[in-house]
Amino acid sequence: MKTAVVTGGAGFVPSHLVDRLLADGLRVVALDNFITGHKRNIAHLEGNENFIFREADVSEPFEVEGEVDYVFHMASPASPIDYVQVPIETLKAGSYATHNSLDLALRKKARFLMASTSEVYGDPEVHPQTEDYQGNVSTTGPRSCYDEAKRYAEAAVMAYHRHHGVETRIVRIFNTYGPRMRLDDGRVVPAFIGQALEGKPLTIFGDGAQTRSFCYVSDLVEGIWRLMQSDCLQPVNIGNPHEMSIKEFAEAIAAATGTQTGMKGCPLPEDDPKVRRPDIGRAREVLDWEPVVSFDDGIRKTIDYFKEFVG
């Protein structure tokens, strides 16, 4: 039985990854300090003999006993409201925690995958974004603690590969949604769904013309697992290339929830990307991957999940 280590394992995306790895017959060791993760995301795994959880801050050096085949470094605050509130912890997740996770992979001779982000492209001047685009990122803006931490982490990953020979992979994750997101995490999917279910107007920042591309979490996890098992050393975009404006997304949520609450405008946050859509040509070619879950199906499942928390 192979063993995978997942940092940030109680988070939204990592907890779904843990489920997938266990379903594929792996033993999983998950670590999390619950800054943004939650125990309920892994509560269903209690008693699973192939799942081990440790409460730990991986920004501090850590060890895992026994053989390790895969290290997935997924730990980091990942929404604007989080990384603005905990900027130092966000920087440490991209720097110290990346080094500690890479050191574990080096000691164990394990294959390593780092969860990067479309935010490395900043407010892009190239659209859609290919992996070769080097980005338009502010080093001093309010989002820089996240953007630059991830860009640094990518550099660290490649340094360990080139200098130490660690087998490394980098996934650049685009907007992802699904069950286990936090209702209060500030991202547009839970924000709009929560407001709609509570009968409140949906908050539109700016004129709502800025675009996003939404990928359902099971599609993302499939892409991550395929990347880890591939021979691809280059960063790979994983996301859904179907693009919609924020206003269009708000209208879709209103229709899906059957609400007529309207919308209210707010100023656009500083450095908020105006467009976001992945070019997934590399994922199609190298991983034979593309998203398969329709927007309607994914949103319905996500809304049903949030109904448990909105009374």
What is the identity of the amino acid at 222? E
What are 12-59's pLDDT values in tens digits? 999 999 999 999 999 999 999 999 999 999 999 999 999 999 999 999
On the question of a cis peptide bond just before residue 235, with omega within 30 degrees of 0, the verdict is: no
Predicted structure pTM score: 0.95
Q: What is the CA radius of gyration of the chain?
A: 19
**Cβ(23)–Cβ(225) below 8 Å:** no
Q: Helix %, strand %, coil % for the chain, to 5? A: 40, 20, 40
Q: How far is CA 154 from CA 80, 90, 168, 294, 304, in A?
A: 20, 15, 10, 31, 36
The proportion of the chain whose per-residue pLDDT surpasses 90, expressed as a percent, equals: 85
What are 253-270's pLDDT values in tens digits? 999 999 888 888 888 777
Q: Which residues contact 111 (CB under 8 A, 6 or more apart)?
A: 69, 70, 71, 105, 167, 168, 169, 228
Mean pLDDT of all residues in 220-242: 97
What are 111-152's pLDDT values in tens digits? 999 999 999 999 999 999 999 999 999 999 989 999 999 999
> Would residue 146 show up in a list of annotated catalytic residues for this protein?
yes
Match domain 3-177+215-241+277-293 to its CATH number in 3.30.1310.10, 3.40.1030.10, 3.40.50.720, 3.30.450.40.
3.40.50.720
pLDDT band at 103 (very low <50, low <70, confident <90, very high): very high
pLDDT band at 311 (very low <50, low <70, confident <90, very high): low
Mean pLDDT of all residues in 236-251: 94
* Active-site position among 70, 83, 146, 216: 146
Task: State the chain's mean pLDDT as an integer.
Answer: 95
What single-letter DSSP state applies at residue 144?
A: H
